[in-house]
Structure 1
Amino acid sequence: MTLNVQIFGFKDCQDTRKALRFFAERRISPHFVDLEERPATRGEL
């Protein structure tokens, strides 16, 4: 079973880092989108 997770947030946000750490501890590699670099597109939401 493959779990695809996307996390949208800011690199320096504490809650974003908590979410990334949560998945890393469970050996799930999420796809992170930094909203400072590029905004989320309609298809991603």
Structure 2
Amino acid sequence: MPAFRFEAIDSAGRAQKGVIDADSARSARGQLRTQGLTPLVV
């Protein structure tokens, strides 16, 4: 499964960066949203 680097904003407006494993960039964005994050870059 590929790993995607991401930048996102959490519900408090703080920037979050990291790596997430997902089948596709679209799937990675969906996973981030389910974690309460707003993806900016994947």
Bucket of the pairwise TM-score, normalised by the shorter protein: 0.3 to 0.5
TM-score relative to the length of structure 2:
0.41
- Asked which structure has the greater CA Rg, the reply is 1
Structure number with the higher helix fraction is: 1
